[in-house]
Amino acid sequence: MNDSENTSGYARYLEAKRTVDERALNLYVWQRFIDHLNAIENTRSLHILEIGAGTGSTFFNVLDNVTHPSIIYRVVDLEETHIGALRHKLKSWAQNRGGNVVEYADRVVVNLSGKSIDVRVNVDDVLRYLESKTESLRYDAIIGQAILDLFDIDYLLTLLEDVLRQGGLYYFSINFDGVTTFLPEYNGDIDRLVENIYHASMKEEKRDGSQSGRRVLMELMRRGADIIQAGSSDWVVCPSKEGGYVGDEEYFLMEILKFVKKELLASQEIERKVVENWFSHRKQQISNSGLVFIAHQLDVLASKE
């Protein structure tokens, strides 16, 4: 039994998409981010904030690659189960590296040979946490992965600017940007309608999650940030002829289908019967290891000037 089989609900979805994110992550943008973090002077602690940290996919990648001897890393996520899973994995991560772990109600302190990591955890809504103005630290880096589509990016960046040091880094990865494709084609007209309705469901008065990648890139430029590196980070889920889908990606695809179906059923633009037939067809393709899924996304690394 793998870890995802021990996890329920949305937390399992996050674990299932981990392999999808790992393939998608733009390695040029990622490496520039790590290089910049490792260039920060080690005469003081390195301060990192991650919003919407989930169960720790990016969090552990950072810990595995940053060489700074003292890290203060704050994670904020709305779901207590996500933070609980992250804390559990952190304990195993540290023990596997011969580290000592001390747990508190709101933090976990890890001491490794030559490195101290102080992880401060907050179960809270990201905007509520930032709006509370309780944060006294100024961060060297702010991280957000696959989360900006949920926010009014202009407002979110205004809040984040207040807690980022001058010259500090924004690292925003897996930002959805306007393409959702299921292959093979089911019906050209229906496929286009499905995509249009799904993307429209991400739009509100001040939020367009369907184009979060280009919006955060343009908003950072408007604010005078230096765009250090940007690049595509597309999700591509494709079965192999012999082994089907990687890891738990069949579950990931089913959850994506359910997300789309929910928005289709809430729309007046498409008949319920059409939705049910489309969903049944796509579900069968997954069962037969015959569905390919593509979503276009962008990764952005910038510094506050």
pTM: 0.93
DSSP assignments along 152-204, one per residue: -HHHHHHHHHTTEEEEEEEEEEEEEEEEEEEES-S-HHHHHHHHHHHHHTTEE
- For the chain, list the domains and their CATH numbers: 3-179+204-234+296-303 (3.40.50.150)
Q: What is the pLDDT of residues 137-190, one digit of tens each?
A: 799 999 999 999 999 999 999 999 999 999 999 999 999 999 999 999 999 999
User: What's the pLDDT tens digit per position in 179-203?
Assistant: 999 999 999 999 999 999 999 999 9
Dist CA 174 CA 176 (whole Å): 6
Calpha distance 60→62 (Å, rounded): 5
Of 70-74, 131-135, 212-216, 219-223, the poorest mean pLDDT is in 131-135
Query: Over the stretch 83-107, which tens digit does the pLDDT of each residue have?
Result: 999 999 999 999 999 999 999 999 9
